[in-house]
Amino acid sequence: MSTDQLGTGYAGETPRDSTQSKARILDAATAEFAAYGLAGARVDRIAARAGANKQLIYRYFGSKEALFDSALAANIDRLLDEIPFNALDLPGYAVTMFDFAHAHRELVRLVRWHTLERPGVLWALPNAAESTRLKVAALRQAQEAGVVDGALPAEHMLELLLSLIHSAAESHAIGDSPAAVAARRRAVAHGAQRLTTPSQA
């Protein structure tokens, strides 16, 4: 294979925009890693799905592990862009997150695999780390204002809230009826409200 072919990822075709190529690779990587995790994923399957070649993938991302991290980071950035955090309406935030996770269940699986196989790396990703810091700060401020229950430290409150959302979305079974999904959605809202509403005691 020629150097020109390596530079495009489309043997025999004219060069294409690298941003588009990377986006296709990340989409393919998301599907592959969500299905198989890091250990079971195959870079050649990712290349075939993306219409690229393995050499180009390694040129862009350096390693299979770095591609795994990049696929997760791209999806986390998408989630952060689409769902603003609102510490003053945590049940509403939880339901919006549930809807997103339910519609993109591959992301929930991707996060699970990444947590198991790359422990600690997620929270070191720059955008994820900054987003978590801002969420914790907003929660702490809402606790101090008496809007959110202050029995738990803000970071633990956030962890429990996100676990509730992701567990509910992940428990989706093929063939779930719309009524079952709606019931789970109501349960998420109820659970978030019970978790975060200040005690009257």
Alpha carbons 150 and 163: distance in angstroms, whole number = 18
Per-residue b/e over 60-96, b at no fewer than 16 CB within 10 Å? Answer: bbeebeebbbbbbbbbbeebeeeeebebeebbebbbb
pLDDT at 197 over 50: yes
Angle at 161 between CA 28 and CA 128, to 5 degrees: 45
Q: What is the pLDDT of residues 95-127, one digit of tens each?
A: 999 999 888 888 888 988 999 999 989 888 888
Among 108, 59, 54, smallest CA distance to 79 is for 108
Q: What is the pLDDT of residues 19-77, one digit of tens each?
A: 899 999 999 999 999 999 999 999 999 999 999 999 999 999 999 999 999 999 999 88
- Give the pLDDT band of residue 187 (cuts 50, 70, 90): very high
Alpha-helical segments (H) within the chain: 3-8, 18-40, 43-50, 54-61, 64-82, 90-103, 105-117, 126-144, 154-170, 178-196
pLDDT at 1 over 50: no
Say which DSSP state 28 is in. Answer: H
**Inter-axis angle of helices 64-82 and 43-50, nearest 10:** 50
- How confident is the model over 188-198, as a mean pLDDT? 95
List Cβ neighbours of 106 (8 Å cut-off, separation of 6 or more).
30, 31, 34, 35
Alpha carbons 179 and 188: distance in angstroms, whole number = 14
- Residue 116 burial class via C-beta count within 10 angstroms: exposed 0-12, middle 13-18, buried 19 and up: exposed
pLDDT at 8 over 70: no
Q: What is the pLDDT of residues 144-174, one digit of tens each?
A: 999 999 999 999 999 999 889 888 877 655 5
- Give the pLDDT band of residue 12 (cuts 50, 70, 90): very low
pLDDT at 3 over 90: no
Highest averaged pLDDT of the listed ranges 10-19, 60-69, 191-200: 60-69
